[in-house]
């Protein structure tokens, strides 16, 4: 009975892998067509992954990898999905694929998987997050795409990528920064630590001003955090504006102060809301002032 079950499963797999629409044209070392085995596939039969989250590839690093591949071959197979007769689509490993083409390789070792588009996107994003040196913005975009396009919660995403929810939240917050700051992170002009300090500043103008200062003066993260803290404090001008007293108020305050024979202060914000503070030195003076109000 167990042998019959294994045989039935084997025929089912053959039916999928050797059908005219999805026939695998290469074999593993055992001579069988097996999904998940390592196979050598013509490099020209593999199309790139439209879901690839990485947009920039370091040309010098690619050249170094190409030289290594030319001498040693591809150590880690790329992962592809079968999507038609003699047709494969890259799931992960675009850097290795590009370097192999650069090295003039005709074939490349691959893992063959069967995945729908959503699974493919998820696999590509997660594999790249873990295995490629993505910059912080690319990681943040990958996290956001997993949430949006694969309908994941932050908690589910945390489980899938093995990162804490707070770490994921910190990456996602980067996408709220102005485009100029995101580009600076992407291009390596500032670190994620610098960016996290800038996030806490509400004013875009202040964010961009400090960004320029970070780049010009080569500030470290601690210096940037100190600047960000100072930026959050209201300036003397802002403090004066928040207690702006119109001229006709001043006249009324002076009159009230003379009438009560004590100091009167008024606080007022830019929206016009405020309070009147009347000084008194003891209970006797308080009673005197109250009598004046009650007349």
What is the set of active-site residues?
94
Helices 154-161 and 165-173: crossing angle in degrees, nearest 10, is: 110
Q: Which residues pair with 278 in a beta bridge?
A: 264
């Amino acid at each position: 009975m167990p042998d019959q079950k294994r045989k039935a499963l084997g025929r089912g797999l053959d039916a999928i892998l050797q059908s005219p629409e999805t026939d695998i044209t290469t074999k593993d070392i055992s001579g069988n067509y097996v999904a998940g085995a390592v196979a050598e596939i013509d490099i020209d039969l593999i199309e790139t992954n439209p879901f690839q989250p990485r947009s920039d590839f370091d040309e010098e690093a690619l050249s170094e990898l190409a030289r290594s591949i030319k001498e040693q071959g591809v150590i880690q197979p790329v992962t592809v999905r079968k999507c038609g007769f003699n047709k494969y689509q890259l799931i992960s490993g675009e850097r290795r694929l590009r370097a192999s083409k650069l090295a003039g390789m005709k074939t490349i070792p691959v893992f063959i998987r069967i995945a729908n588009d959503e699974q493919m996107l998820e696999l590509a994003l997660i594999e790249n997050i873990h295995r490629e040196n993505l910059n912080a913005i690319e990681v943040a975009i990958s996290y956001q795409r997993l949430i949006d396009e694969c309908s994941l919660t932050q908690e589910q995403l945390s489980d899938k990528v093995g990162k804490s929810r707070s770490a994921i939240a910190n990456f996602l917050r980067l996408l709220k920064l102005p485009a100029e700051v995101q580009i600076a992170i992407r291009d390596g002009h500032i670190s994620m630590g610098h960016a996290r300090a800038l996030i806490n500043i509400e004013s875009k103008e202040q964010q961009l001003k400090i960004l320029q200062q970070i780049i010009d003066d080569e500030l470290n993260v601690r210096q940037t955090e100190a600047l960000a803290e100072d930026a959050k404090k209201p300036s003397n001008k802002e403090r004066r504006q928040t207690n702006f007293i119109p001229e006709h108020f001043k006249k009324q305050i002076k009159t009230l102060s003379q009438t009560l024979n004590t100091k009167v202060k008024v606080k007022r914000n830019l929206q016009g809301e405020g309070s009147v503070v009347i000084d008194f030195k003891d209970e006797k003076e308080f009673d005197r002032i109250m009598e004046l109000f009650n007349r």
